């Protein structure tokens, strides 16, 4: 069946360094992927998305890479800041109606 | 422009009671989604509704759970005869149309349900 998972449950990064959060998916059907950020006590917040016919997409300080050959998705955050500390989820859209979320990676920024 | 509003933020119920969770979508949004999140886990889809219609309830437990999105008023997720396993954070999300790359889901802050 469809699934989305993450390689590491936690990640600690020095402030100012770049962060890379990874995600793997198991189905070859092409749809779209989204990265969400969830801070404690809050709902997920959209960061960036990418369609399956793309390899890379950039936003402000963030880049998403999609490797369809190995079914791998990554989120790169440049020059991490304390405010980047949160749990990051990748999610996959199946059709246009609902998202399937991974289990999340907790990113901790070390001052 | 207020975001997705959920209330209450915290809800405590005893086993066997009913829980009613409310969600007001963003202004102009006619599509509502409910997700459940257990501690240290990702969100799990429950149900997708449009005004007065349930579009997809494939993630809803067959018993005790129901959802509605009336023509007027908020969307309601109702859990009857709650059990401890229902304890979780319940998130509502809304979108202006069918979710695609450019139609992003906007999430509320969630309702934390605790069943004693």
pLDDT at position A68: 87
User: Could you give the residue ranges of the DSSP H alpha helices within chain A?
Assistant: none
Give the model confidence (pLDDT) of B22-72 as tens digits. Answer: 999 998 888 899 999 988 788 999 999 998 899 999 999 999 999 999 999
Retrieve residue A33's tokens: 């992927």
User: Tell me, what DSSP letter sits at residue A81?
Assistant: -
pLDDT at position B75: 97
Per-residue confidence band for A2, with pLDDT thresholds at 50, 70 and 90: very low
Q: Kindly determine whether residue B43 and residue A46, on different chains, have CB atoms separated by under 8 Å.
A: no
Retrieve residue A46's tokens: 């959209």
Question: What integer is the mean pLDDT of B80-89?
Answer: 96
* Residue from A44, A51, A90 to probe the interface with B (highest B Cβ count within 10 Å): A44
Tell me the shortest Cα–Cα distance from B17 to chain A, in angstroms: 25
Q: Is the pLDDT score of A72 beyond 50?
A: yes
Q: Kindly determine whether residue B41 and residue A103, on different chains, have CB atoms separated by under 8 Å.
A: yes
Q: Is the pLDDT score of B87 beyond 50?
A: yes
Question: What integer is the mean pLDDT of A66-84?
Answer: 94
Per-residue confidence band for A30, with pLDDT thresholds at 50, 70 and 90: low
Please list every residue in chain A whose beta carbon sits closer than 8 Å to the beta carbon of residue B33. Answer: 98
pLDDT at position A4: 62
pLDDT at position B10: 97
Q: How far apart, in Å, are the Cα atoms of B10 and each of B38, B61, B93, B111?
A: 15, 22, 17, 5
Q: Is A44 on the interface with B (CB under 8 A)?
A: yes
Please list every residue in chain A whose beta carbon sits closer than 8 Å to the beta carbon of residue B43. Answer: 44, 89, 91, 99, 101
Q: Is A67 on the interface with B (CB under 8 A)?
A: no
CA distance A98 to A50: 16
Retrieve residue B56's tokens: 């997809």
CA distance B65 to B74: 17
């Amino acid at each position: 069946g469809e699934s989305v998972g993450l390689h590491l449950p936690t990640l600690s990064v020095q402030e100012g360094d770049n962060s890379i959060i990874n995600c793997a998916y198991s189905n070859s059907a092409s749809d779209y992927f989204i990265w969400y950020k969830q801070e404690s006590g809050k709902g997920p917040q959209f960061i960036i998305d990418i369609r399956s016919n793309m390899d890379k997409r950039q936003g402000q300080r963030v880049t998403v890479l999609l490797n369809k050959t190995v079914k791998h998705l990554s989120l790169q955050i440049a020059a991490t800041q304390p405010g980047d500390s949160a749990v990051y989820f990748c999610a996959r859209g199946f059709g246009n109606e609902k998202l399937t979320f991974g289990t999340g990676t907790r990113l901790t920024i070390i001052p | 422009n207020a975001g997705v509003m959920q209330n209450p933020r915290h809800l405590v119920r005893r086993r066997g009671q009913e829980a009613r969770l409310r969600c007001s979508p963003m202004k102009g949004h006619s599509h509502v989604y409910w997700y459940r999140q257990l501690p240290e886990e990702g969100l799990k889809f429950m149900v997708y509704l449009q005004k007065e219609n349930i579009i997809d309830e494939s993630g809803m437990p067959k018993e005790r759970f129901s959802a509605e999105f009336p023509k007027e008023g908020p969307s309601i997720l109702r859990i009857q005869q709650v059990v401890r396993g229902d304890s979780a954070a319940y998130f509502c999300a809304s979108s202006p149309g069918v979710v695609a790359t450019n139609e992003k889901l906007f999430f509320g802050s969630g309702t934390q349900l605790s069943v004693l």
